[in-house]
Structure 1
Amino acid sequence: MANITKKVSWSSRADESGATGEGTPLLNGSEQPRHSRQDSLRGRPKEIPHNEKLLSLKFESLDYDNIENQLFLEEERRMSHMGFRCLEISRWVVCGLIGFLTGLIACFIDIVVEQLAGMKYQVVKENIEKFTEVGGLSISLILWAVFNSAFVMVGAIIVAYFEPIAAGSGIPQIKCYLNGVKIPRVVRLKTLVVKVCGVICSVVGGLAVGKEGPMIHSGAVVAAGVSQGRSTSLKRDFKIFEYFRRDTEKRDFVSAGAAAGVSAAFGAPVGGVLFSLEEGASFWNQMLTWRIFFASMISTFTLNFFLSIYHNNPGDLSNPGLINFGRFENESVAYNLYEIPLFIAMGAIGGLLGALFNVLNYWLTIFRIRYVHRPCLQVMEAMLVAAVTATVSFTMIYFSNDCQPLGPEHTEEYPLQLFCADGEYNSMATAFFNTPERSVRSLFHNQPGTYNPLTLGLFTLTYFFLACWTYGLAVSAGVFIPSLLIGAAWGRLFGILLASITTTGSTWAVPGKYALMGAAAQLGGIVRMTLSLTVIMVEATGNITYGLPIMLVLMTAKIVGDYFVEGLYDIHIKLQSVPFLHWEAPATSHWLTAREVMSSPVTCLNRIEKVGTIVDVLSNTSTNHNGFPVVVQVAGNDEPAKLCGLILRSQLIVLLKHKVFVELARSRLTHRKLQLKDFRDAYPRFPPIQSIHVSQDERECMMDLTEFMNATPYTVPQETSLPRVFKLFRALGLRHLVVVDDENRVVGLVTRKDLARYHLGKHGLEELQLAQT
C-alpha cells in the first residue's frame, strides 16, 4: 500500500459542499479534536500565504454541468425546432464576433507598439549617434533608461492599483477558468482594458517580454463579454444572447476566445484550437471544434486585413499574426536524417535551461509574495527592472566590437553604427536595440556570419536572467517571445559551432535552422506544451517539413524538464493555491475511497422547507458552501430521509429574492411563475444573503424546491475509488458529487477541493493543507 503524507489545515473547513464540520476530517472521516490541533501547532513553521503547500478556499468552482430541473425541461419542451436552429446560428455569430474583435485588439496593440517603440528607438538612436564622436554617451544611457522606466511605470501603476489580475500573460488564469475554477475578475472588461494598455507599455518599455501571450487572455475576456451580451464594468445589459448566461455556454466561448488569441498572436488557427484542447478545455465535442476553428480563422483574417491597410497594401494578406517568423522555404534550410539526434540533444538542452528558468523564477516569486506585495513596491520593482534592462543592454552594445557590413538590403530596423566603421553596424545592437519579435526574426533569417559566437553567448546569458527576473512583475507581459528569443540565440550559436567543427558544415549546419530548433526547445522547456506548440511553430514558419523535428525537440524538452520541475504555468497556479484538477487522478490512489475524501457532515434541506430555515442555513454557512442536497421523508415512515435532488446557493438566493413562497402563492399576493430568465438575469454575480430582506411572517412560510432543484444529481457509492470519482468529476465538469449509502441516503459531498488536495509527492501520495487565504 502506498504511503500517504498527511498535511492537515487548522483553519475551519469551508468548501463548496454543504459540509458544516468545523474541523478538518481525517482520512477515516472523523474529525481531529480541538486540543490536539493546538498541541500540533506548537513548533510549526509559519507558512507563507499562497504557496504550493496550501489549497485556497477562496476559489469557487464553475457549474459546467447543466442543471436539469423542471424549469429547464419545460423550456426545452416549449422550444421549437427553429428555435434550436436559431440558437445554433447564434453560437456561430458569437464565435465570429469573438474572432473579429480579438483580431482588432491584436491589430491595435501591434500598431501602437510599433509607433511608440519606433519613436523611442529613433530618439535614442539619434542621441547615441550625436554623442558617439563628442563623448557623453552617459546621457544617451540615461535617456534610454528614463524612456523605459516611464513607460513601464505607467503599465505597472494601472496593473498594481487598478486591476492586479491583469498582471502577467493571463494564461495560468485562463487555464484555471477552463479547468472549472472561478478566478475573480479574470474576464472583466476592466481587466481587458488594463491588459491591453499594460502590455503596450511593457513592450515599449523595453522589458524582456512579448505581447503574444496576453492575447490569449484578451481573447478570453472578449469571448466572455460578447457571449453574455452585457458588461458589469459598464453596468450595461444589451438583452442579447441571454440564453448563453450560464457557465456551460460561457466556458465554450472562452475556449474560442483563447484560441482566437493564439491565432492572432502567431497566425496559427489550427494551433489555437489545439491550445484550447491541450491546455484548458475540460469538455470537447466536434461541433465545438468547428466553432473554435471558425473564431480562430476570423481572428487571423481580421488582423491580416487591417494590417495590410495599415501598411498601405490593401488585400496583401501577408501578416497573419503579431509575430512573423518568416518563411523557411529555401532548400538549404532543409534537414537531414543524421541531424535528428542533434535536434533531440537541443531539446534536452532546452529542457535543462527551461527547468533552470522555472526554478529561479519560482524562488523569485516566493520572494515577491513575501516582501513585494504592496502596489507601491511592485511599481518600484518594475521600474528598477526596466532601468536595469536598459543599462545592461546599453553596456553590452557599448563594449561589443561585433561590427558587420551594412548591406543594401539590410533587415535591421534601427542599425546602430556606434564605434564601427562607416558602412558597418553593431551586431549586438540588432539583438537589444529592437522589439523582441524583430530580434527573433533576425536570428532566424540573417545570413551566416551576421553574429559572432561571443555576441550570441553573452546575449543568451544576459537575456536569460533578464527574462527570468521580468516574468512575475506587476505588468502585463508574456513569456512566449522572450523564450523564443533566448532559444533562437543559443540555437544559432549551436549551429555556428557545428559549422566550425565540421568540414562540410556550410552545406547543412545553417544557423537559422538551428535557431528555430533552439527557440522551440527553450519555449518547450519553460511552458511544457507539445501538441499545440508543434502546430503553432509549423504554421508560423509555413514549412510542414519541420513538423517532426520540432515535435521531437518539444517532447524531449518536456521529458527532461519535467524530471526536475513543473512547467512555468503550473508553478504559478500552485503558488496561487488554486484547486486545479489535472487530467488524471494521482497514481497509487486507488485504495482511497469516496468516503475518505468527501466532505461531511452535509447540510441537507427538505423538499418542502421552511423559509426561515433556508435563510438561517445560508446566513450561517460560508459563501463557499454552494451545494445543498435535497432530501424527502416518506410520510408515516421512521426511516431516515433519502436523496431526491440538489440545489445551489445561487438558486436559493434567487428564490428568496423573488419570494417564491407557498403561502404567498395561495394568497391574493400571487406572483408570476419564475422562469429560467430570472436566474440568468442574476448570473453570474448573485447577491449575498445579507442583501435579501425576509420579514418575520415570511420566515414562517414554506418553500417548495421541487421545481427548481436538480432532481437527478450525479451520485456515487461511498466505496467508489478516488480515481473513479476523479474521472467522473473531471470529465463531466461537475461542481458537486453526492456520496450516498446503499439506501440512497446522503453521507457526504465530493467537491473540487476534496479531489485537488491529493497529489503525488516525493514521499508518496500527499494531502495538501486547506486554508482560507
Structure 2
Amino acid sequence: MMSTFTLNLVLSTYNGVPGMLAYNGLLNFGKFDDLTYEIWEFIPFLLMGVMGGLLGALYNHINLKLTAFRMRYVNKPWQKIIEAAIVAFVTAAAAFLMIYLIHDCRIIDPDTAKYPIQMFCGYGEENAAASIWFQTPEKSVRSLFHDPPDSYQWSTIGVFFVCYFFLACWTYGLGIPSGVFIPTLLCGAAWGRLVGKLMSLFFPDQQWPDEGKYALVGAGAMLGGVVRMTLSLTVILMECVGNITFGLPLMIVLMVAKWVGDFFTEGLYDIHIQMQGVPIMAWNAPPLSNNIYATEVMNRPVATLRSVETVQNIVSILKKHHYNGFPVVDCVPTEADTRYFRSFGTLRGLILRSQLLVLLKHKVFNENAEVWQNSKVDISLFRLSYPRYFTLDEVELNSEDLNCTVDVRPFYNPSPYSIVTCTPLPRMFNLFRALGLRHLVVVDDNNGVVGIVTRKDLVKYRIWKHRGQMGLEELVIYNSVS
C-alpha cells in the first residue's frame, strides 16, 4: 500500500495533477474497454491452459539443462561475457533474418504507430515483424493485445513465437540482469494471438472471437505454466489491462496451466532455488517422512562452549566453525565422547555467534570486570551492532586478551528449544516453521547434548513427483551453515 501510494503521488505530480491518486502503475498493457466472453469459450480457454502448462514445462526443462550446463562449464566472468555476447548476436541475427525473409507489410496507423519501421516495405507502410522485434517487450505485448484483426500474418506470429520462445529460455539465467515476466508474457501473447486468428477463421460471422482477448489468455497461460502462480498473476494482469471482467476465466486458465505443468516439472523459481542450494523451507513437512527421526537428521560432533570459557578457545571455535549458535554445557567432552558421539555435556543454554563477537569486540572479560562493569553492558550493547555484526577479522585481540576468560552465563539463552533423539522430522519441521528457528539442540534422556539440527538439515529432504508417482529423496548439501 505504501509503494502504491508513493508511486501514485509521484505520477500525479509528474502529470501535472498532484494529489490525483488514480494511476495504475508503471506497467500498463492498455485498457480493454469491451472485454466479454461467452460460456462456450471456456472450452478453448481450458485447452489454452493445457497448452500453457505443456509449453511452460518444456520451457522449464530446457532452462534446467541450460542452467546445469552453465554451472559446470560457464562459471568464469569472461565466459559469461562471451555467452551474453553470443546470445545478443543470435537474437539480432534471428530478428533481421525473420524481417528479411517474411514480407509482412501493413498500412501505417497514425493512432497506434508512433515510430513506424518501414524496413523492406513501401512508402506509407510498416513492417509488422520489425514492429514486434524493435519495440520494447512491453509495447510488443500491448500491440498483440490491442492491434486490429489481421494486423499480422500467420507466418509472422508463428515464426516469432518459435524464435522468441527459445531465445527467452536461453536468456534467462545469463550473467546479466534479465527477467522472465515480460518475455514469457510476450511468448504467450504470440501463440494466443494465433489461437484468436484460428477462432476467427472457424467462426467468421461471430463477434466474440477477438484476437486480443485470446492473446491475453495465452499470455496468462504461458506465464502460469512457467512460474506456477495463480492468484497473484491474475491480479497483476487485471491491473495491467485495467479490466476485472475477465478475472474468473483467467484464474481458471492459470490454475489449469499450473496443474498441467506440475505434472511434468517444477516451477522455474523452484528449480533455480534448488539448484542454487538456497535453504528455503516449504509450508509443510514432506510426506512419507514420519519415520525419519532426529538421530538421522542432526549434525555431530557439536561445537560446544563452557559457561566460563577462555578467549583463545572462543576464537578458535569461531574460526573453525561458521555456525550461528553454540550450545553451552557444563563440561568439555572428552576425546572418547567426541570419537564415539556420546554426550557433549549437559545442556545449560545456547549463545549466538553475534553475541560472542560483541563480547570479544568490547572485551567483556572477567579480568576486565572493573572496566566494563562501570559501563552499560546490557541489551543495548548488542542492539547497536544489529544487523551488521562484526566479523572475527574486525575484532582486535592481543596475546594478553587471548589468555583472558569470558563468563557467558549473563548473556546466553538459558532455555533454548531442544528435542529428544526420537523426535520425528514433521515435528522438527513444524517447530522451525512456526517459531522461526535457525537451530534446534538434540539432547538425550539426561539432557546431554548429542547433536544439533539446522534449517539445511531439514530442507535436504525433498519429495519428488513424476507421472503420478511420488517418493522421498535426501539431497547432499556441502558446507552446511546454520
Normalised TM-score (structure 2):
0.89
Q: Could you tell me how far 1:654 is from its partner in structure 2?
A: 1.0
Q: Secondary structure at the match of 1:646?
A: strand
AA aligned to 1:296 is S
Q: Gaps spanning 5+ residues in structure 1: where?
A: 1-293, 634-638
CA distance in structure 2 between the partners assigned to 1:378 and 1:562 by the alignment: 31
Determine if contact 2:221/2:254 at 8 Å carries over to the other structure: yes
Partner SS for 1:647: strand
- Choose which of 637, 641, 653 in structure 1 pairs with 2:357: 653
Q: 1:669 to 1:516 in 2, by over 3 A?
A: closer
In structure 2, distance between residues paired with 1:521 and 1:497: 17
Please show how residues 722-741 of structure 1 align to structure 2 within 5 Å: 722-741=425-444
Residues 453, 531 of structure 1: CA spacing in aligned structure 2 closer, same or farther, 3 A cutoff?
Answer: same
Distance 1:455 1:668 in 2: 80
Aligned equivalents of 1:579, 1:668: Cα separation in 2: 42
Identify which of 483, 489, 492 aligns with 2:193: 492
1:592 matched to which residue of 2? Answer: 292
Going from structure 1 to structure 2, the CA distance change for 1:352 and 1:669 (only over 3 Å counts) comes to closer
Give the match for residue 576 of structure 1.
Answer: 276
Matching of residue 769 in structure 1 with residue 476 in structure 2: yes
Q: How far apart, in 2, do the equivalents of 1:582 and 1:772 lie?
A: 21
Cα pair 1:347 1:521 within 8 Å, conserved: yes
Q: Report if aligned partners of 2:9, 2:20 keep a CA contact under 8 Å in 1.
A: no
Partner Cα distance (2:462, 2:271) in 1: 14
Cα distance in structure 1, aligned partners of 2:130 and 2:307: 73
Contact 1:308 1:315 in 2 (8 A): no
Cα distance change on mapping 1:323 and 1:733 into 2, 3 Å: same
1:295 matched to 2:295? The reply is no
Give, in whole Å, the separation in 2 of the partners of 1:496 and 1:668.
Answer: 83
Q: Does residue 163 of structure 2 align to residue 462 of structure 1?
A: yes
In the superposition, relative to structure 1, how do residues 384 and 305 fare at CA in structure 2: closer, same or farther (>3 Å)? farther
* Match runs of 1:115-514 below 5 Å: 294-302=1-9, 304-305=11-12, 307-308=14-15, 320-330=24-34, 333-409=35-111, 411-504=112-205, 506-514=206-214
Separation in structure 1 between the aligned mates of residue 151 and residue 230 of structure 2, nearest angstrom: 31
Equivalent-residue separation in structure 1 for 2:392 and 2:119 (angstroms):
68
Q: Which residue is 1:545 aligned to?
A: 245
1:610 CA drift (Å): 3.2
Q: 1:511 to 1:683 in 2, by over 3 A?
A: same
CA distance in 1, matches of 2:439, 2:174: 36
Q: Say whether 1:760 aligns with 2:463.
A: yes
Change in CA separation of 1:727 and 1:640 when aligned onto 2, cut-off 3 Å:
closer
Q: Given the superposition, is the C-alpha separation of residues 387 and 319 from structure 1 closer, same or farther in structure 2, using an over 3 Å criterion? A: farther
CA distance in 2, matches of 1:690, 1:439: 52
| Structure 2 counterpart of 1:647, one-letter code | I
From the superposition, tell whether residues 509 and 632 of structure 1 become closer, same or farther in structure 2 (CA, over 3 Å): same
Report the secondary structure of 2:47's partner residue.
helix
The question of 1:622 aligning with 2:321 is answered: yes
SS at 1:544's partner residue?
coil
| Larger helix proportion of the pair | 1
Q: Distance in 1 between matches of 2:233 and 2:327?
A: 43
Q: Is the 8 A contact 1:627 1:736 kept in 2?
A: yes
Percent identity over paired residues: 52
Conserved 8 A contact 2:24-2:239? no
Cα pair distance change 1:693/1:433, threshold 3 Å:
closer
Map 1:104-123; keep pairs closer than 5 Å. none
Matches of 1:324 and 1:645, distance apart in 2:
55
CA deviations on 1:258-295 (whole Å, 9 max, x unpaired) are xxxxxxxxxxxxxxxxxxxxxxxxxxxxxxxxxxxx32
What's the offset of the Cα at 1:381? 1.9
**Cα displacement string for residues 117-140 of structure 1 (whole angstroms, at most 9, x for unaligned residues):** xxxxxxxxxxxxxxxxxxxxxxxx
CA drift at 1:493: 0.7
SS in 1 for 2:477: strand
d(CA) in 1 for partners of 2:308 and 2:217?
65
Find the aligned partners of 1:303 and 1:358 in 2 and give their Cα distance: 38
Say if 2:311 is the partner of 1:607. no
Equivalent pair of 1:304/1:320 in contact (CA under 8 Å)? no
State the alpha-carbon separation in 1 of the partners of residues 117 and 143 from structure 2.
15
Matched letter for residue 2 of structure 2: A
- Displacement of 1:649 after TM fit? 1.4
Q: Aligned in 2, Cα 1:569/1:302: closer, same or farther, shift over 3 Å?
A: farther
3-state secondary structure, aligned to 1:422: coil
> Residue 534 of structure 1: CA displacement?
1.5
Question: Aligned-residue CA RMSD in angstroms?
Answer: 2.4
Structure 1 residues 295 and 669: alpha-carbon distance in aligned structure 2, compared to 1, 3 A threshold: closer
SS in 1 for 2:246: helix
Q: Secondary structure at the match of 2:245?
A: helix
Name the counterpart of 2:257.
557
**In the alignment, structure 1 residue 519 sits paired with structure 2 residue 226:** no
Structure 2 portions without partners, runs of 5+ = 332-342
CA contact (8 A) 1:584 1:726 kept: yes
1:156-188 deviation per Cα after TM superposition (whole angstroms, max 9, x unaligned): xxxxxxxxxxxxxxxxxxxxxxxxxxxxxxxxx
For the residue of structure 2 that corresponds to 1:475, the secondary structure is coil
Q: State yes or no: 1:743 paired with 2:442.
A: no
Amino acid at match of 2:298: M
Q: Is the 2:119–2:130 contact (alpha carbons within 8 Å) kept by the matching residues of 1?
A: no
Q: Closer, same or farther in 2 for the Cα pair 1:503/1:615, shift >3 Å?
A: closer
Of 231, 238, 263, the residue aligned with 1:531 is 231
Q: 1:686 aligns with which of 389, 393, 397?
A: 389
TM-score (norm 1): 0.57
Structure (1 or 2) with the larger CA radius of gyration? 2
